[in-house]
Amino acid sequence: MTPTAEPRAKPSALHWLVGGAAVFILLAGLQTVSHIVTPFLLAAFLAIISAPPLAWMQRRGVPGIVSILLLFLLVGLAFFLLFLALQGAVESLATQAPAYQAKLAGWLDQIRSLLAARGAPPGLLPDRIPLPQTSTITGTATEIATGLGQFTASTLLVLLAFMFLLLEERTLAEKLEAAFPGRRRARVRTRRFLRSVYRYLLIKTGASVLTGLLVGAGLSALGIDFAILWGIVAGLLNFIPTIGSFIAAIPALLVTVVSGTPLDLLLVGSLYLVVNLSIGSILEPRLLGRTLGLSPVIVLISLLVWGWVFGPIGMLLAVPLTMIAKLALDSSPQTRWAGILLSDRVRRLPIDRETPSGRHGE
């Protein structure tokens, strides 16, 4: 007679306290070595995004080394063009900063004269707008441009790690077989989790690139200054749901207020609204599925936590990192409750059936 499985003890408050302390120690350790972990983290995301194209090329008969070299060259070229565009935009911003400050100062003088003509007290408006000095803006922009150039040189480590991870990708299936012999369900869950991660990051990256291209092209057609820069910002911040789109629109709208007309301001606002609604509210939910959303509170917490751990890059990767954690939690019945708590809506997930002995059925 098969003995029945003993009921598992419920975790006590001490278990939760120890678990929370372990998580905090782990995050603090990652923050300490963030300068080492960040390049490999970027390389891992690039490798995950490139895994489906790599598999597609190999199914078409392209040799493994050739397909990896093609992806390496393509990603390297994308990095080069991205940093080149950012450096040019920042240098252009440094050049035009004095003109923007002069225009804002002129507006302030006109408003002050208008109010004085209507009998307003002279001290109603400040003597000048509390903006940084022109030399400060120019120096900061120059430092950013120089830093981008130096960071471009450090991307060699990211690209090398990216290539080695792609080489590792080819033997991942065999390693799963060797790591979980006789445990078919564990292998199935692992493959299901990896497929979900591949799909999410590939679709999210494609949507972000499309957002950046549409915003950049639209702003260029409208004649808005630094259109390429605002397109890159829109693409990067698209990884942050909801609030990322609003934050990305602010600098372009401010530049339009200073250098454009009220019609230009209306057109720029409409451009951001149409692009973000069509991609963020229609295209992405249709491709990803509505069950992959994160709670707004979780999004905010993830921005704070990963930003504290990895800095600005951590804030950009905060939502993808949290989404990967959520997919991992969803892949196991024991942790599925945590995945539901991270979700943006109440949902019921399928529960794996268990045999009477308490073991999962194969």
* Mean pLDDT, rounded, for 208-214: 91
232-269 pLDDT, tens per residue? Answer: 888 888 887 777 778 888 888 888 887 778 888 899 99
Task: With cut-offs at 50, 70 and 90, classify the pLDDT of residue 130.
Answer: low
Cα atoms found within 13 Å of the Cα of residue 11, Cβ hemisphere only: 9
Given a cut of 60, is residue 209 above it in pLDDT? yes
Q: Which stretches within the chain are classed as H helix? A: 13-32, 34-59, 64-117, 134-169, 172-179, 184-222, 227-237, 243-259, 262-276, 284-288, 296-310, 312-316, 318-330, 336-342
pLDDT, position 362: 39
pTM strictly above 0.85: no
pLDDT at 51: 80
Residue 225, pLDDT above cutoff 60: yes
Question: What is the rounded average pLDDT of the residues 76-103?
Answer: 75
Residue in 360, 260, 345, 248 with CA at minimum distance from that of residue 5: 360
- Residue-level pLDDT at 358: 44
Rounded Cα distance, 157 and 90, in Å = 24
- Cα 330 to chain center, whole Å? 21
* Residue 267: predicted pLDDT: 92
Domain ranges of the chain: 26-170
Partner residues linked to 354 by β-bridges: 360
Which one-letter DSSP state was computed for residue 241? T
34 Cβ neighbours under 8 A, 6+ residues apart = 309, 310, 311, 314
Average pLDDT value for residue range 270-291: 80
In tens, the pLDDT along 318-352 reads 878 888 887 777 777 777 777 777 776 665 545 44
